[in-house]
Structure 1
Amino acid sequence: MAQSRDGFQSRLGFVLAASGAAVGLGNIWGFPTQAANHGGGAFLLVYFIVIFLLALPALYTELYLGHKAQANPVKALRNAWQEQAPQVGAAAGYLGLAGAIVMLSFYSIVAGWMLAYALEPIALFLGFTEISTFLKTDSMARNFIFTPLMLLLTASIILKGVKSGIETWSRRLMPMLLVLLVGLIAYIATLDGASNGFAAYLVPDFSQILDPGLIIAAMGQAFFSLSLGVGCMMIYGSYLQPDANLPRLTASVALLDTGVAFLAGLLIIPAIYVAQHNGVQVFSDGKLVGEGQLIFAILPQLFNTMGEVGLLVGLLFFVLMSIASLTSTISSTEIPVAFLVENHQVERKQATFLVSLTVLTASSLIIFNFDWLFGLVIMVLTQYQLPLMGLFYFITVGWLWRRGNQLHKAASGVRYWFAQYIRFVCPILMTAVFANVAFG
């Protein structure tokens, strides 16, 4: 028997949930690193511009596809391609479905690291030095403990559905994330060296504004930070009421996501300069050291230089990272769960179990072959699938989808010019992003 479709009950609930899907490690981990390596304030300025030029239309396009179909990505894309080749649309939906599973397989591992690092200061404070060492040391055993734990946390929320699970927990987790961010920024601002970090981040070097590498990097970061390309926003858009004000909601999600990325820069980049002031090497050949070293080496070293208060700061920071991870794993898990529930009439409980088991199997495969498979999986997903799917969505909405596509039917006014922008400009910008990240 077909099950009644759940949905968001309030505008705020949707905005927090969709922003939570977008606010992940890419915002709090990737964005500050990109900013530090591409001119600080110059990157920030260009980032804001390309959010408006590329990421906002991409976000609207993906939400629009799901909202009009009121269905999961496989159904939504099949319907959009109904007049041309429905099997092509369905195939793209299945590709996004596979991408969500792949994303979860490595994202759950990294999320598990964040959870382990959040528990490490507690273990150290309680005098459990061996446990503390285990929690901050990379090992297969740690991966096999904390990856399933993160999957269980995600599943416990997905099981409750959209209203009671995703929306309710987004209302709890996102305000907590914002409070932690602001609190940590306020504390870091009081430390020696932070002022240099604020200046590097907020004062643009206008000579770098037109650097092609900076522009393309900002375009890629803007697209990836909004969690576009695997159907997260499409499935969330499908849970909106049919009469929802999609342009306003899209702007609200983009604004909150961009605000969190901006705040993350206000935290991480001053913290980098505080660490440098305290004798920690943070730059090599003029570039910030690798992202993994930033989170798991430089910042822990900084926390160690703070004495006992460093335990609290480290705890709060990795709780923040764990929340950011969880809000993203929730959205990615909902994609295959919704597909099983709607297309195959599987009970949500059983669907959640099947998806979690599939992700755990894929994660285990990565853990057993970590040295070569982890980086390969991330590269294939982020450098190829995500930008190509974004390009596919633009082409679908701008050129191929006719029945029920109000943008395609627009004959004049703002809607008409926005439709032309999606048809002609966005595919060119998206192709530029793909060419840069795929071919360097």
Structure 2
Amino acid sequence: MAAAGSAVGLGNVWGFPTKTASNGGAAFLVIYLIMVFLLAFPMLVAELTIGRHGQSNPVASLRSIWTRNRVGATFFGLIAMVTASLLLSFYSIIAGWLIGFSAAPTFEVLGMNNVSDWLVSFGDTRNVVLAVIFSLLTIYVVKNGVADGIEKWSTRLMPMLFVLFAVMIAYIFTQDGAIDGLKMYLIPDVSHITAPLLVDALGQAFFSLSLGVGSMIAYGSYLKKDVNIPKTAAQVAAIDTGVAFGAGLLILPAMFVAKHNGVQIFNDAGELISSSDLVFQVLPSMFDTMGGAGIIIGTAFFVLMVIAALTSSISLLEVPVSCAQDELNMTRGKATWLIGGLITVTSIIISLNFGALFNFVATFTTVYMQPLLGAVWAVFVGWIWHRNNLLNEIKQGNPDIEQGLFWKIWPWYVRLVCPIAIVMVFLFSIL
């Protein structure tokens, strides 16, 4: 549940629908599902296995495998830490917007329309303030631990998010224009399959499953030795992909409903006007069509999304904090405030230079660094880790796995197919 909480977040509800709408709809959906099945899932198994073997932070877990080159293992671990920190710096900005949209209806009901408008209107000051609020919330939870706090409540509240998804999807299908969005989402046009789409789909698969940045290695270290890792990985991937698919089923039809109601979504060239805040244009427009119930449902939805974002953000901050604790002998409180503070400062810099930095940082971390680091972890598992040691680790949770189809395919698949396929996607995009 913790790993699923880390995976289910803005990558599903903000990232996936945005990428899908920006890349022709169903064509992106098909390639995304292929990328999840063929590359993301095998790498999720690999990361969880690395973590459970190491029983420590990601840097130490990598060193436990590459014992002959501890410096090299430490280097790649630190690269993952930096990537996780940069990812959290832009993630906090988007999550801050969620806080604004969740609080705005309350201020509107209280007659404080100026405050309500400020919370939902794009601006440097608003972006900075809300990003700092979310960052402080993340720091507070990580500093005080997560087991008895946000994780316990997220397992209770996340089902409410799924129920709200179902209600909103059913509602949006009754609105004019929804069928156009549904056709865009479910009927593929192969002409949209391009090199950039392949890279975007690969990056989105890794971003959505929190791969490449050490989060799943950290969660793997928490697994007991009797856990069946492939089964656990399949459950996490299925939950995550299901939520992403459901988000697309809501957002794309809602996008065309908003267009039908006069909201300008596309420019004259047929491109999305603003992909980064697409969800924040479309969903409020949908809630406005629901009357008084829209205020309640909209508030509940954005509050639950803040919780979903928090379950992901705490996993991102936990990774460098756990490393600082173990490698530098820092106290948890000091490590959390120092690293969290630096990430917050980075969020402020990005907010104040949004046009120049936001898309750059988001693309650099999610589209490029996460898959490339995934390729590195594939090399660790497939080439550096001795095959018998790898088998013994996985067998602890499934003693009969050696006789099954999974073990006959997965080791050589991670050794050869995953790193080569990831690199080829990037070379294909460059060429």
TM-score, normalised to structure 1, is 0.87
Would the aligned equivalents of 1:17 and 1:170 in 2 still touch at CA under 8 Å? Answer: no
The offset of 1:320, in angstroms, is: 4.1
Q: Which residue of 1 aligns with 2:226?
A: 243
Partners of 1:221 and 1:125 in 2: CA distance: 37
Matched, 1:23 2:8: yes
1:266-319: per-residue Cα shift (whole Å, max 9, x none)? 110110121122222323333443322412334434444555444334424433
User: Which of the numbers 268, 272, 276 marks the counterpart of 2:251?
Assistant: 268
Would the aligned equivalents of 1:208 and 1:214 in 2 still touch at CA under 8 Å? Answer: no
Would the aligned equivalents of 1:278 and 1:302 in 2 still touch at CA under 8 Å? Answer: no
Would the aligned equivalents of 2:199 and 2:367 in 1 still touch at CA under 8 Å? Answer: no
1:58-95: per-residue Cα shift (whole Å, max 9, x none)? 11111111111111111011222113x11101111111
Partners of 1:206 and 1:109 in 2: CA distance: 33
Shift in alpha-carbon separation, 1:146–1:34, aligned structure 2, 3 A: closer
Matched, 1:341 2:325: yes
Partners of 1:299 and 1:250 in 2: CA distance: 31
The offset of 1:166, in angstroms, is: 5.4
The offset of 1:328, in angstroms, is: 1.2
Q: Which residue of 1 aligns with 2:162?
A: 178
Q: Return the letter of the residue paired with 1:330.
A: I
The offset of 1:331, in angstroms, is: 0.7
Partners of 1:377 and 1:42 in 2: CA distance: 25
Q: Which residue of 2 aligns with 1:51?
A: 36
Shift in alpha-carbon separation, 1:188–1:348, aligned structure 2, 3 A: same
Would the aligned equivalents of 2:97 and 2:130 in 1 still touch at CA under 8 Å? Answer: yes
Runs of 5+ unmatched residues, structure 2: 395-400
Would the aligned equivalents of 1:280 and 1:302 in 2 still touch at CA under 8 Å? Answer: no
Partners of 1:62 and 1:366 in 2: CA distance: 30
Runs of 5+ unmatched residues, structure 1: 1-15
Q: Which residue of 1 aligns with 2:398?
A: none
The offset of 1:355, in angstroms, is: 2.7
Partners of 1:288 and 1:320 in 2: CA distance: 27
Q: Number of matched residues? A: 422
Q: Which residue of 2 aligns with 1:423?
A: 415
Would the aligned equivalents of 1:193 and 1:270 in 2 still touch at CA under 8 Å? Answer: yes
1:109-152: per-residue Cα shift (whole Å, max 9, x none)? 22111111211122112210111121122333323432222123
Partners of 1:387 and 1:435 in 2: CA distance: 13
Q: Return the letter of the residue paired with 1:23.
A: V
User: Which of the numbers 238, 263, 287 marks the counterpart of 1:280?
Assistant: 263
Give the 5 Å matches for 1:3-18.
Answer: 16-18=1-3
Shift in alpha-carbon separation, 1:42–1:80, aligned structure 2, 3 A: same
Q: Return the letter of the residue paired with 1:20.
A: G
Partners of 1:19 and 1:96 in 2: CA distance: 20
Matched, 1:219 2:202: yes
Q: Return the letter of the residue paired with 2:229.
A: L
Would the aligned equivalents of 1:42 and 1:205 in 2 still touch at CA under 8 Å? Answer: yes
The offset of 1:99, in angstroms, is: 1.6
Shift in alpha-carbon separation, 1:220–1:374, aligned structure 2, 3 A: closer
User: Which of the numbers 43, 50, 67 marks the counterpart of 1:65?
Assistant: 50
User: Which of the numbers 181, 199, 213 marks the counterpart of 1:230?
Assistant: 213
Would the aligned equivalents of 1:40 and 1:200 in 2 still touch at CA under 8 Å? Answer: yes
- The secondary structure found in structure 1 opposite 2:33 is helix
- The secondary structure found in structure 2 opposite 1:121 is helix
Partners of 1:189 and 1:382 in 2: CA distance: 32
Q: Percent identity?
A: 45
1:165-208: per-residue Cα shift (whole Å, max 9, x none)? 45324313422322232222222223222233333323x33755
Partners of 2:266 and 2:354 in 1: CA distance: 27
Would the aligned equivalents of 1:29 and 1:291 in 2 still touch at CA under 8 Å? Answer: no
Q: Which residue of 1 aligns with 2:172?
A: 188
> Does 402-411 or 46-55 show the bigger shift?
402-411
Would the aligned equivalents of 1:216 and 1:432 in 2 still touch at CA under 8 Å? Answer: no
- The secondary structure found in structure 2 opposite 1:159 is helix
Q: Which residue of 2 aligns with 1:103?
A: 87
Partners of 2:16 and 2:116 in 1: CA distance: 29
- The secondary structure found in structure 2 opposite 1:191 is coil
- The secondary structure found in structure 2 opposite 1:405 is helix
- The secondary structure found in structure 2 opposite 1:243 is coil
Give the 5 Å matches for 1:77-156.
Answer: 77-83=62-68, 85-156=69-140
The offset of 1:235, in angstroms, is: 0.4
Q: Return the letter of the residue paired with 2:115.
A: I
Partners of 1:379 and 1:228 in 2: CA distance: 15
Partners of 1:424 and 1:305 in 2: CA distance: 51
The offset of 1:380, in angstroms, is: 2.7
Would the aligned equivalents of 2:212 and 2:374 in 1 still touch at CA under 8 Å? Answer: yes
User: Which of the numbers 234, 241, 255 marks the counterpart of 2:238?
Assistant: 255
Would the aligned equivalents of 1:46 and 1:209 in 2 still touch at CA under 8 Å? Answer: no
Shift in alpha-carbon separation, 1:321–1:170, aligned structure 2, 3 A: closer
Partners of 2:61 and 2:300 in 1: CA distance: 40
Partners of 1:94 and 1:220 in 2: CA distance: 20
The offset of 1:343, in angstroms, is: 2.6
Shift in alpha-carbon separation, 1:33–1:169, aligned structure 2, 3 A: same
Q: Return the letter of the residue paired with 2:295.
A: L
- The secondary structure found in structure 1 opposite 2:276 is helix
Shift in alpha-carbon separation, 1:156–1:309, aligned structure 2, 3 A: same
Would the aligned equivalents of 1:201 and 1:266 in 2 still touch at CA under 8 Å? Answer: yes
User: Which of the numbers 312, 335, 353 marks the counterpart of 1:328?
Assistant: 312
- The secondary structure found in structure 2 opposite 1:163 is coil
